[in-house]
A and B are shown apart, each in its own frame.
Chain A
Amino acid sequence: MHHHYPEGTVRALLNTDHVTPATRTTLEARLSLHAPYEPQFFTASEYVLLKAVCDRLIPQTGSDTDYINIARGIDERLTRNESNGWRYDSMPPDQDAYQLGLAGLEATAQSRHQQSFLHLPDAQQDDLLRLIQQAEVEGEPWDRLPAERFFEEILAEAVENYYSHPLAQEAIGYVGMADTPAWQRLGLNTLDDREPRPL
């Protein structure tokens, strides 16, 4: 079952009284994050690699102006050394985990294909990522970084960064931010007027 929704729904609702000022400020700030971004935590080469991984985890097909920069949010969080409140005890601290994991990915690409991950075709990139997801990689750094946990963490963070963006929310037909003054129609197959109909 696939569902498609019209474009522009969230952006239009942001200009109405259906969102509170606090919600509008937050989402408009996120929408306007287009400018090129210089990583603060990652080195330039780590950052390019991270972006390439994010592009495979959540492929984006839209125009450049609609590109949602997932890696940026990760870099910003690690720069502030912020935590989401917990980590698997089996994992090193987040900053180390990302650096080790990216280095491990690149080393695995080199040893299997004698090429950088960046230069592999999409399908081979995906194969490598799948090996990490299934913990079918060995040696340094995977002996101190459980590969399947690393993959789970980077995937969960990528998903949170991507789907918190209004453009990604439009694509799945989510308009829950337009909650003012109230939702009136809650039952099955009953929509308030401002909720988008699937195409």
Chain B
Amino acid sequence: MQHYTTSETVDAVVIGTGAGGAPLLARLAAAGLKVVALEAGKHWTPYDDFPTDERAQSKLFWNDERLSAGEDPLPFGNNNSGTGVGGSTLHYTAYTPRVQPDDLRLRSEFSVGEDWPFGFEEIEPYYDEIEHFLGVSGPANYPWGPVRKRQYPLGPLPINAPGQLMERGCRELGIRTSPAANAALSAPYFQEGVGWRQACTNRGFCQAGCNIGAKASMDVTYIPLAIHHGAEVRPESFVTQLVKDASGKISEVIYIRNGQEERQRCRYVFLCAGTVETPRLLLMNGLANTSGQVGRNVMAHTALQIWGEFDEDIRPYKGIPGALISEDTHRPSDQIAGPVDFAGGYLLQSIGVMPLTYLSQMARARGLWGDALKQAATTYNHVAGINILGDCLPYAHNYLELSDEKDVRGLPKPRIYFSNGENEERMTSHANQVMRSIWEAAGAKNLWAFPRNAHVIGTCRMGNDPDRAVVDAEGRSYDIPNLYISDNSTFPSALSVNPALTIMALSLRTADRFLTRSNRLD
């Protein structure tokens, strides 16, 4: 790997190496720029470092304490954010549906929420490129959304037992399903700058890290590509300050490595620290907030899960966890579950589950303990779940602030307020009804609901109006010309699909826009 000295002025510093940071890092390096990525977490060697054990793998989560406030406090840690070279993709489930064009025009369609500053046609070529680079496995004919220009590079992964059951229930009800697109390899795959990656072995452990590189986390895809093209990745480097020079540009980034403060001089900064850490850094440094929007508009997908017990043997630890999808609820018809009284929509996903995740959720949601808990736990091999992911509107009452409490690093803990609004409540109750009918049609008993929201989104939104947005449609700060943001914080609306593929697409788009600017400093 290339190494740059801290006395050198590099072209760009990229802060964070997750879905928003890694693709852009590779693109800038491939263009010949001198780039350094500063990543708070470690650079793991998955086969040696990742036991198949949820507890040991809690090291992949961002475990610095955050304060969860509001009516529906968001759990972080294992539910919401990761750290390490690869960021949260180390533990994402690799479910990679594309957004549908109308998701980007929520306000035009429903007069609530926000429109995006560009349309689907801007993102689509990046979807094509990324799906082929990562080796996304998906169906030949996907029933929803615009006709694809390119097929998925690999056929779908096998459907595990929860997927088969959801298929059965949906068939009864006339809801269409499809094998889902997953960024995990259904066959060995060769990538330029990376090499061969092996196929998924159906170990069902994606959320606690893939130890064989079958899942397209950034550490086995865009990061090796970036390094191949001359980028330096500096792990265990926790950024604390962005320093402005007299001209108002950021001239150096200060970070802590091995307990020591280091500084890296640079011409550009790409802040990709995720929806919580990006605004936290900006607020701590008093930067880029003329709009007053930094930390505002926290969104989190509606993500209710319905679990059921079946007579059949399921073994929910096997197979890619999210094997099946339905987007018939993207803009549900009144036939599915009565009149629709909410804006936007959601997708349905079958879910397998690892035991600790399942049992701790069950304890929290059902409040079971004592013998009742132990008996319920013995049904683990017979449970399967369905999950939704749905849009969430931005509200003034949902935001992030710095608290007075300090964390282990001596920095203010972030406090995140989150309460579902009426739209989310209505969508969730619709979904509750739909998922219960599917499970009942499939033969489930003892249904129970795990209420939750997933994926923290927003806090530094993009838009065309500098009074209402933190960054422009390219991801560039309205206040600081050499600062870009690329992560889940810039989404103006939450979308009704999982975010990672779209974050990666915006990341490459930002890099390309940046590279074609004529008046760059490098």
Chain A interface (Cβ < 8 Å from any Cβ of B): 1-5, 19-23, 25-27, 56-59, 81-90, 93, 126, 129, 133, 152, 155-156, 159-160, 163-164, 169, 171-174, 176-177, 179-184, 186-191, 195, 198
Contacts and interface: CB of A to CB of B under 8 A. Distances in A.
Contact of A23 (B53, B204, B311, B369): B53
Contacts of A87: 65-68
Contacts of B405: 93
A23 B51 contact: yes
Nearest to B354: A176
A130 to B, nearest CB: 9
17 contacts: A1-B311, A20-B211, A22-B47, A23-B52, A58-B373, A84-B58, A85-B76, A86-B66, A89-B415, A160-B55, A163-B359, A163-B377, A164-B53, A172-B377, A183-B203, A183-B204, A187-B159
B379 A3 contact: yes
A22 B374 contact: no
B232 interface: no
Q: Is the interface of B mostly helix, strand, loop or mixed?
A: loop
Contact of A88 (B50, B73, B201): B73
A4 B379 CA distance: 9
Contact of B315 (A19, A86, A126, A191): A191
B317 A59 contact: no
Interface in B51-110: 51-56, 58, 61-69, 73-78, 80-81
Interface stretch (B160-168, B215-223, B293-301, B421-429): B160-168
Return the 5 tightest CB-CB contacts between A and B, nearest first: A85-B77, A176-B317, A182-B201, A89-B69, A179-B203
Contact of B381 (A3, A93, A129): A3
A189 B313 contact: yes
B373 A22 contact: no
B111 interface: no
Interface size class of B (residues with CB under 8 A): 35 or more
Contacts of B371: 59
Contact of B52 (A3, A56, A126, A176): A176
Interface string B170-212: 0000000000000000000000000000000111110000010
B160 A186 contact: yes
B370 A126 contact: yes
B380 A172 contact: yes
Contacts of B54: 164
Contact of A182 (B49, B80, B203, B408): B203
A182 B202 contact: yes
Contact of A159 (B52, B159, B359): B359
